[in-house]
Structure 1
């Protein structure tokens, strides 16, 4: 154990980031097998999804409020006041829920004692666009979300008061809702979330876990930072 940090330093300084991150994972996994209280990666990743869901739902509601609160249309029709009040109340509730979720995340993350995994996460997530890892972008795109379009939402999703807003789409993404042309019911949202449940220990979870925490892909030897894909958004030229 005394040689761990010097070796990690040597690997990082020589640019062998893939080897460094793999060794950190293997070392942490060995340590975990001896610990009675294990660090809950499932819950950490699930909470991060919930944080993004919350932030994206808030954006969607504020977008709708901005539309509903515009001056009356030419026919004089107005959006019912109770609808606007309901949306405002939900925005307030979301703010409270985000506050609690953020503290839940810190509680989970704080249970990870300083060691190989903590150092690996710190290194990987020190890159401001770590979440644009090719595995995470592919997951977003293949699920019909913004990384499969040219909007650039995932790369540019930043809210000053929402640290955990940055990242990929959830069932609450308003851009995705507009792209598919309909809003998902609560039942449909639950069905989609179940299909990609990060609480289940299976291949899907392991792929997302490795990419999210360490920037790794199974049997891939590339430098994790070279796997970050952040193409600029592309827009069609307006019709002349």
Structure 2
């Protein structure tokens, strides 16, 4: 190309994603959207677009040039939810003890544990960002950003069904998962072994051994006999996708209004159970 000739630039845009790139062959930056990705963005088919993004890292024949620790991200999010749910449980205990003539040392011990939890949350939050910020710009990162920008992404059908199966609040009418009462950023999501509402519902507290066993059983890890479970949770949680389903992922977000009074025995979990019967595959 002659020195006086300016490269012809092509402007490509993707509607609805706040994304625009001006590029030529010489201006290309790693992570720019491909022509195929741009066409899918323009088509408005969110499911197909997210599936394309999934294929860019799930294709075993062409592994990504940079490692992407999806497992670490999801495991850290579980730890963050567990932390916040324990914090909620402790605050409930302190509030209840305040109504009784309780020794100050008991409340002091709970306050000290709250302080420890706050420090652990701070560390976990930065661990999450360490992992997330290491993702290279590209289709996968855009897919995660798009899905996680949905306010109720965690109420995806797959994640709700999993919560129900594990005995969590989505199997009852309490509305805890959809409207968890916490100011913590990473409080959103489903029940862990520290959920106080689940403890009240089952009528007993889990001992440390039981908690450890449940954590191991439902650990999100690809190098396990139940790797399919990890893959299913990963795909729904990060991209909003579901195997065998080609609906708009946004239509897979389900929700119920919050309840702050104890539901009747007859209505326990009725809404979710009816929903799951209708959505069985």
TM-score by length of 1: 0.89
Is the counterpart of residue 98 in structure 1 residue 121 in structure 2?
yes
More helix, by proportion: 1
RMSD: 2.1
Deviation at 1:8, TM superposition (A): 2.8
Aligned residue for 1:182, secondary structure, equals coil
Aligned with residue 47 of structure 2, among 6, 18, 21: 18
Of residues 99-108 and 19-28 in structure 1, the stretch that sits farther from structure 2 once superposed is 19-28
Is the counterpart of residue 177 in structure 1 residue 199 in structure 2?
yes
| Residue pair 1:158, 1:166 contacting (<8 A) in 2 also | no
Q: Aligned runs of 1:1-240 on 2, under 5 Å?
A: 4-30=33-59, 33-35=63-65, 37-70=66-99, 72=100, 78-160=101-183, 162-201=184-223, 202-233=227-258, 236=263
Distance in 2 (alpha carbons) for counterparts of 1:159 and 1:197: 24
Structure 1: segments with no counterpart, 5+ residues = 73-77
Distance in 2 (alpha carbons) for counterparts of 1:13 and 1:155: 32
| Residue pair 2:180, 2:188 contacting (<8 A) in 1 also | yes
Distance in 1 (alpha carbons) for counterparts of 2:181 and 2:42: 31
Aligned residue for 1:155, secondary structure, equals coil
Distance in 2 (alpha carbons) for counterparts of 1:180 and 1:34: 44
Deviation at 1:222, TM superposition (A): 1.0
Larger RCO of the pair (alpha carbons < 8 Å, separation 6+): 1
Number of aligned residues: 229
Deviation at 1:159, TM superposition (A): 2.3
Aligned residue for 2:178, secondary structure, equals helix
Distance in 1 (alpha carbons) for counterparts of 2:35 and 2:256: 36
Aligned residue for 1:153, secondary structure, equals coil
Aligned residue for 2:243, secondary structure, equals coil
Larger Rg: 2
